[in-house]
Amino acid sequence: MTWHAAPLAGRTEFLRSSAIRDLLGLAGRSDIVSLAGGLPATETFPVEAVREACARVLATRPHDALQYGPSEGIAPLREWVAAHLGARGMHFDPDQVLITSGSQQGLDLIGKVLIDAGSAVLVERPSYLGALQAFGLYAPRFVGIDADAEGPLPLAFAAALPGARLAYLQPHFSNPGGCSLSDTRAAHLAPLLAAAPTWLVEDDPYAEIWFETPPQPGLIARGVAQGVHLGSFSKVLAPGLRLGWIAAPRELAPKLAQARQAADLQSSSFAQWLVLELLRGGAVERGLPALRQLYRGRRDALLAALQAHMPAGVRWSRPGGGLFVWVTLPHGLDAAALLPQALGRGVAYVPGVSFDVRGEARNTLRLSYSSVDEARIDAAIATLGALFEHALRAAPEARAA
Ligand SMILES: Cc1ncc(COP(=O)(O)O)c(C=O)c1O
C-alpha cells in the first residue's frame, strides 16, 4: 500500500537541522578534540554522594519518590530555590518557583506563555542557541542587540525596547560570549526595563561557576520587577538529572505551571527528592570549590594557548567564570567555512554564526574548555592557530577584527 505523507504542523518549518550541527556530529569521535561541546566535566559529578543519597531517598521516602508529584515541583525544593535566590538579592516566594526539567524546558515554557507570532523578542548578539531554538518555534520577530564585553549596548537596547514582548539576557558568564553584565551597564539597562511593559528573562545557569570573584547582581537583583529568572542544577551538579527552575512574577507563575502540566506533568519526583537530599547534605556546596578550580585551570590554559598560538588580529573574550570563550577572527575569515579543515586536523569548535540571529557573525567562533584537559587544550589551540594563520595568508584582504 502506498502512504501519502500527511502534512506536518506549519511550525515544523522552524525545526531545521543545520549543516554545522551535522558536521559537529563528528566532534564526538575519539580522534577529535572537541572544544565545541560545553558539556560539564564528568570529574565534577559527585558520584559517591549521589549513590548514597539515592539509597537514603529510597529508605526514607520511597513512595513520594516513585509517585507522581505536584506539577510545580516538590515544596521543599521550591523553598530551597526561593531561599537561594533571596540570598542573591532576588526575592521570590516559594509559590513563585516552578521546578523544571532543566532550564531548557523553562525557555520553552516562556515561549509558549509569552510569545505570539510576530512578537518582538530582544536577544543579544551572540545569544544562546537553545533559547533561539526554543523561542523560534513560537515564530517571534527576533531583534538582535549588539553587545560588547559588558553586555548589550544601552543605545541599541533602548532603541529596540519600545513594543518588545520580552528581552532575553544572560547576566553572568554567558554562553557563548563568555561575558557578564558590568555594574555600569546594568545601571543603564535597569531603569530602561523598569519603564517598559516588557518581560525580562534572565537565564543564569553559570552564576556559581566564578573564578576570581562572585558575580555582580543581575537586573532582577537590581529591582526589575517583571524579571523571570531561570536557574539550573546542570552545571553545578549533573545535567543528566534534568532539573532546573523558573522563578516568575505572580502574574506569570500560574500560567507557566499550567503550560508545564500540559507538557510533561512534572519533573521526575525521584530526581527532585535526590537533589534535595544532596543540597541538604551539603554535597553541592562542598563540590563547588573543586569545580571552580578545575574550570579555572582549563580557562587559564585556553587563554594562555590563545595568546601563544593565535595570529595577530584575532581577539577573544576573557571570561571570569562559566565554560566558554568567544573568539573573533579578522573580518573576511569565515569560521564555518574553516570548520571542515579544523575537523580534518582533529579539532572541533562551534562557528559563531549559529548564535547570531542576524546570521552575520561569520568571523566568530565559540570554544569551550569545560571537558578537555589542559595538555590537549594547548595542542588543539596550536592546531587552530596554524589553520587560521594559513587562512589569513590565503586571504590578504582580511582585516583585523
Ligand atoms: C545559557 C543556557 N541556558 C540554558 C541551558 C540549558 O541547561 P539545562 O536545561 O541543562 O538546565 C544551557 C545549557 O547549556 C545554557 O548554556
- Taking only the tens place, the pLDDT of each residue in 60-73 is 999 999 999 999 99
Amino acid at 257: A
Q: Is the CB of 37 under 6 A from ligand 1?
A: no
**From the CA of 161, how far away is ligand 1's center (Å)?**
25
Other C-beta atoms closer than 10 Å to the C-beta of 285 total 12
222 burial level (CB within 10 Å; 0-12, 13-18, 19+): buried
| Cell 565534577, residue located | 44
The residue with greater pLDDT, 16 or 139, is 139
Q: What is the mean pLDDT of residues 287-293?
A: 97
Q: Is the CB of 101 under 6 A from ligand 1?
A: no
| Cell 595538555, residue located | 375
pLDDT band at 297 (very low <50, low <70, confident <90, very high): very high
Distance (Å, whole) CA 271 – CA 263? 18
Distance (Å, whole) CA 372 – CA 55? 32
Query: What's the pLDDT tens digit per position in 303-325?
Result: 999 999 999 999 999 999 999 99
Q: What is the mean pLDDT of residues 185-191?
A: 95
Q: Dihedrals φ, ψ of 202, to 5°?
A: -105, 110
**From the CA of 40, how far away is ligand 1's center (Å)?**
11
| Mean predicted lDDT score pLDDT of the chain | 94
Contacts from 147-153 at CB under 8 Å and sequence distance 24+?
Answer: 147/177, 147/179, 148/179, 149/179, 149/182, 149/317, 150/179, 150/181, 150/182, 150/184, 150/185, 151/124, 151/179, 151/180, 151/181, 151/182, 151/185, 151/186, 151/189, 152/122, 152/124, 152/185, 152/189
Q: Which atom of ligand 1 is nearest to the CA of 107?
A: 4
**pLDDT attached to residue 25:** 75
The residues, ordered by sequence, that sit 6+ positions from 82 with a Cβ below 8 Å of its Cβ are 92, 93, 94, 96, 97, 247
**pLDDT attached to residue 360:** 92
**From the CA of 288, how far away is ligand 1's center (Å)?**
18
Query: What's the pLDDT tens digit per position in 145-158?
Result: 999 999 999 999 99
pLDDT at 121 over 70: yes
Identify the residue whose C-alpha is closest to ligand 1 atom 8: 102
Q: Is the CB of 267 under 6 A from ligand 1?
A: no
Q: Positive or negative, the Cα torsion across 59, 63, 68, 71? A: negative
The residue with greater pLDDT, 167 or 3, is 167
pLDDT band at 187 (very low <50, low <70, confident <90, very high): very high
Structural contact between residues 242 and 106, judged by C-beta atoms closer than 8 angstroms: no
Q: Is the CB of 171 under 6 A from ligand 1?
A: no
**pLDDT attached to residue 400:** 61
**From the CA of 59, how far away is ligand 1's center (Å)?**
32
Q: Is the CB of 322 under 6 A from ligand 1?
A: no
Query: What's the pLDDT tens digit per position in 321-340?
Result: 999 999 999 999 999 999 99
**From the CA of 258, how far away is ligand 1's center (Å)?**
22
Nearest to 170, CA basis, from 130, 128, 132, 136: 128
Q: Is the CB of 170 under 6 A from ligand 1?
A: yes
40, 214, 330, 337 from 292: Cα distances, Å: 12, 11, 32, 34
Q: Is the CB of 232 under 6 A from ligand 1?
A: yes
Adjacent-strand bridge partners of 364: 328
The residue with greater pLDDT, 108 or 23, is 108
Distance (Å, whole) CA 58 – CA 233? 21
Q: What is the mean pLDDT of residues 35-60?
A: 96
**pLDDT attached to residue 12:** 87
Distance (Å, whole) CA 15 – CA 18? 10
Q: Is the CB of 104 under 6 A from ligand 1?
A: yes
pLDDT at 379 over 70: yes
